[in-house]
Structure 1
Amino acid sequence: MTDSRKNEPKIDADEILGGIVEWVSIESPSHDGKAVNKVVDHVEGQFRDLGLKIDRTPGIDGFGDILECRTPTEWSQGDGKGILVVAHLDTVHPIGMIEKELKIRREGDSIYGPGIYDMKAGGYIAYYALRHLVRQGKKTRLPVTFLFIPEEEVGSPTSRTRIEEAARGHKYALVMEPGRDGDKVVTSRKGVGRFTLTVKGRASHAGVRHEDGRSAILEMARQILRIEAKTDYARGITCNVGLVKGGTGVNVVSAECTADVDLRVPSPELAEEMTHWFLNLEPIGKDVELIVEGGMNRPPYQKDAGITDLFGKAQAIYREIGKELNDVPLTGGGSDGNFTAALGIPTLDGLGADGKGAHAANEQIYYSSLVPRTYLCSRLLETLE
């Protein structure tokens, strides 16, 4: 890798990895607010020591705290709207995974651990990138705000408003979600919808009075076939019935059944179309009731002119180290970048470490990606204006 800025202090991959491991060692499943706050404590201390202004909002509904860290006014060359860096500190993994399938370990280029790829490595890279500038005595051209979210993995239900409020006050958004497939970042994401269907039927004895019953499970089965048939890869629509629960006994015609559905769509128009379709579903069988609740959880994140320009700036930075940056096609995974991009804020996502195994027992990052990704983040903080 050729670095055209040879006289500057080097970015230390081992130092980055050590910091990442510290964050990963503190397990933080989304629904365990106390566990998440242990990571928040650690991150807050690091940013406070760096000299940033701290604003910590207590969590609600059992979730962890929201942490906001802002560079002092005198640090940047300009004022006004600046750069919003977004990361989340929660993971999908339950407490104890670090002692089982996801023991922290290095095997060649891969380093394993719960949440290391999605996305504690990215969050730490953002911290290190700013610290790297501070060590060099450099200032950013714009003020920078770091926003750490405690419950992104469950849809950011308590932090969405805060994310959107912060985004409106900034010129750019950099989202430290995992990198993709080598030297790739994310410039568009599908919108995410969540719907719950409840069918109410009529219970009866399955052997003696079967004809008197109205099976909620049977109705739900019909609805599931209808819903899954709405998946249309050509239009970018996917519908997945992921959870189903119903019945009270094998010898009882079921009186109630529920199903949870995941929807992904690439555009606001399709989000509106599919939301209307779901909320207007009607029963297929006789004498049963169907209730549909839900809506879009994350709006679609589309690559517009502002995002294209920001991506071009990132590509130019990556070429400084002799590498070519690309973006992935429209991805089905959602992030907090969906919220910032939907507001028209130029958003660059997937800036974290490259790796694989998000949400899985083989979650890992690649050591070889740490320096390039940190360089990219540091130079974006330094040069965006």
Structure 2
Amino acid sequence: MTYHPILEWIEQQQDKMLANVLALSNLNSGSANVAGIEQVVDRLSDLASSLGATEERISLAPRSEVLDNGQILEKQSGPLLRLTKRPNANRRILLVGHSDTVYPVDHAFQTCRHLDDNTVNGPGVADMKGGLVVMLTALQALERSRFAENIGWQIIINPDEEIGSFASAPYLDEAARAADVGMIFEPALADGTLAGARKGSGNFSLIARGKAAHAGREHHLGRNAIAALARAMTLLDGLNGQHEGVTINLAKLTGGGPNNVVPDFALCRFNIRVPTPEGQSWAEEQLAQIVARIGTEEGITLELHGAFGRQPKVMDKAHEQLFALLRSCGADLGLPPIEAKATGGCCDGNNLAAAGLANIDTLGVRGGAIHSTDEFLLVDSLSERAKLTALLLMKLAAGEANWPDRATSVSE
């Protein structure tokens, strides 16, 4: 195989890759831990220094967060890391990862441990510090090859993927529209299965405000915010099953106070998942109707916060072309047949697809139990997945494979 010497080099990096994953995962980088994310970015910058890319650290705009009392705070994210090489090349690839994890700085799960010779348990080992190391190693392999000069590439490592990528979304969109292929390094399943189509996701907060009154003396003068919000929530929950694949999850309810006071405030947090753009439009229309209906009740006001931060990712022709190419790479490497299945989960692959960019978004390590204290990485997947990505990159750069047709943005 023409690519064999480069793939052999990756195999020799296995121990180094594992050491880098452990070092990154032992640094807490919960989405709110700006200092921790900065440390991870520093280390990633060091690991990427041999690539010869132009580095930028971008401060993101503050994000709005609705507190349980209805107050809206502006919060800062960590820096976005952007690395660019050969930006004027005729063919360009966008590689995306995230530096944040779901584990806050005060979480009990902070360090890695070996469960056996091929399994490491630790915060972010699979999601996605293992994937970041796979990405950088694959690019190092590409740059060692004679095909590198044929393509340009850009890396975006954002600090807010686990909380919806709201602040980094404009940068993902801009980069996706300038690229031909997208690669994201979220973890694959333990058996190597990839994510295919992904549902879109919207996170919302609905605030009801009424009028406080003494529950005994002047109950008739009060306007119960909890009762009004409960009516809205009943209508929201009733949308389940009305449109194929659309689900509404009522996740949290807060409000009220002493039993002898008519509550004048209540807040509900909920999530909506949609399989198609049509499903999203339907859900948005239904939500607007419910807010309008309950919000016109006497003495009651409703405030809706949130949006669909992730558009649905549909497996169109361009995505099928890219997956077919990856399957051929897996076959060349002697891997079991690579399968993909639809999922209700979402990631930055949704964002790239919304910009019209075909992408594979589970090129990271094999692992599982992500977002829990049982999160694990299968160690042998480090070099395996780096070889798979490097071969995909080199085939594209060598002109051996056809580039997928540009998709039509689902947001247009």
TM-score, normalised on structure 2?
A: 0.85
Asked if 1:101 corresponds to 2:109, the answer is yes
- Give 3-state SS (helix, strand or coil) of 1:358's partner: coil
Match 1:84 to one of 77, 82, 94: 94
Paired AA for residue 14 in structure 2: A
Give the Cα separation in 2 of the matches to 1:233 and 1:9.
Answer: 54
Residue identity matched to 1:28: S
CA shift in 2, pair 1:59/1:283, >3 Å? closer
Distance 1:250 1:277 in 2: 33
Match of residue 289, structure 2, among 255, 258, 280? 280
2:382 partner amino acid: L
Per the alignment, residue 55 of structure 2 pairs with: 54
Is 1:302–2:314 an aligned residue pair?
yes
Q: Which amino acid aligns with 2:375?
A: E
CA offset at residue 207 of structure 1?
Answer: 3.2
CA shift for structure 1 position 321: 2.2
Does 1:379 find its partner at 2:379? no
CA 110–338 in structure 1, closer or farther in 2 if over 3 Å, else same: same
Name 1:29's counterpart in structure 2: 30
Amino acid paired to 1:247: G
CA distance in 2, matches of 1:46, 1:372: 19
Structure 2 distance, partners of 1:377, 1:168, is 21
Pairing 1:37-52 to 2, within 5 Å after superposition: 37-52=38-53
1:111 to 120, 139, 143: 120
1:350 Cα offset (Å)? 0.9
3-state SS in 1 of match to 2:344:
coil
Q: Against the structure 1 CA distance between its residues 325 and 215, is the aligned structure 2 distance closer, same or farther, given a 3 Å change threshold?
A: farther
- Spell out, residue by residue over 1:288-326, the C-alpha distance to the aligned partner (whole angstroms, 9 max, x if none): 333333321111111110110000010001012222343
Give the Cα separation in 1 of the matches to 2:120 and 2:243. Answer: 37
Paired with 1:233 and 1:277, the residues of 2 have a C-alpha distance of 11
Deviation of 1:381 after TM superposition, in Å, equals 1.7
Contact 1:84 1:167 in 2 (8 A): yes
Distance (whole Å) between structure 2 residues aligned to residue 57 and residue 290 of structure 1? 36
Where do 1:134-145 residues align within 5 Å?
A: 134-135=143-144, 139=148, 141-145=150-154
Deviates more, 1:202-211 or 1:146-155: 202-211
Structure 2 letter corresponding to 1:217? I
1:199 touches 1:220 (CA, 8 Å); kept in 2?
yes
Contact in 2 for aligned 1:195/1:293 (Cα 8 Å): yes
Structure 1 pair 45/244, CA: closer, same or farther in 2 (3 Å)?
A: same
Match of 2:302 among 266, 287, 290: 290
Alpha-carbon distance, 1:111 to partner: 1.0
Is the contact made by 2:184 and 2:348 (CA closer than 8 Å) also made in structure 1? yes
1:147 is aligned to 2:156: yes
Match of 2:409 in 1: none
Query: The residue matched to 2:198 in structure 1 has which SS?
Result: coil
Return the alpha-carbon distance in structure 2 between the equivalents of residues 82 and 233 of structure 1. 42
Answer yes or no: is the 8 Å Cα contact 1:315–1:324 preserved in 2.
no
The aligned amino acid for 2:304 is: V
Name the structure 2 match of 1:63: 77
2:141 to 126, 132, 140: 132
2:352 counterpart of 1:351? no
Matches of 2:60 and 2:210 in 1, distance apart? 39
Ranges in structure 1 where 5+ consecutive residues have no aligned partner: none
Aligned-residue offset at 1:345: 1.1
Distance 1:366 1:8, change over 3 A: closer
The answer (yes or no) to whether the contact 2:257–2:263 under 8 Å persists in 1 is yes
Identity %: 28
1:267 is aligned to 276
Is residue 51–residue 72 contact of structure 1 (8 Å, CA) maintained in 2?
A: no
Match of 2:8 in 1: 8
Q: Match of 2:49, as an amino acid?
A: R
**Which amino acid letter does the alignment assign opposite residue 100 of structure 2?**
D
Q: Which residue of 2 aligns with 1:339?
A: 351
Q: Say yes or no: does 1:323 pair with 2:330.
A: no
Once superposed, which parts of structure 1, at least 4 consecutive aligned residues long, lie more than 6 Å away? none
Q: Are residues 200 and 69 of structure 1, via their aligned partners in 2, closer, same or farther at CA, if it must alter by over 3 Å?
A: same
1:165 matched residue in structure 2: 174
**Maintained 8 Å contact 1:187/1:347:** no
1:192 aligned to 2:201?
yes
Residues 9-35 of structure 1 show CA distances to partners (whole Å, capped at 9, x for unaligned) of 351432221111121122111122222
Opposite residue 160 of structure 2, the aligned amino acid is: E
- SS of 1:257's equivalent in the other structure is strand
The count of aligned residue pairs is: 378
User: What do the CA deviations read for 1:218-262 (whole angstroms, capped 9, x no partner)?
Assistant: 222222222122223971111112122111323211111111211
Task: Give the TM-score of the pair, scaled to structure 1.
Answer: 0.91
Contact 2:187 2:363 in 1 (8 A): yes
State the one-letter code of the partner of 1:383.
K
Give the counterpart of 1:123 among 116, 132, 137.
Answer: 132
Cα separation, 2, equivalents of 1:320 and 1:79: 27
Which blocks of at least 5 consecutive residues in structure 2 are unaligned? 63-75, 398-412
Specify the code of the residue in structure 2 equivalent to 1:242.
A
Q: Deviations over 1:322-377 (max 9, x none)?
A: 22343443211121111111122111111111211221121111123223211111
CA contact (8 A) 2:225 2:266 kept: yes
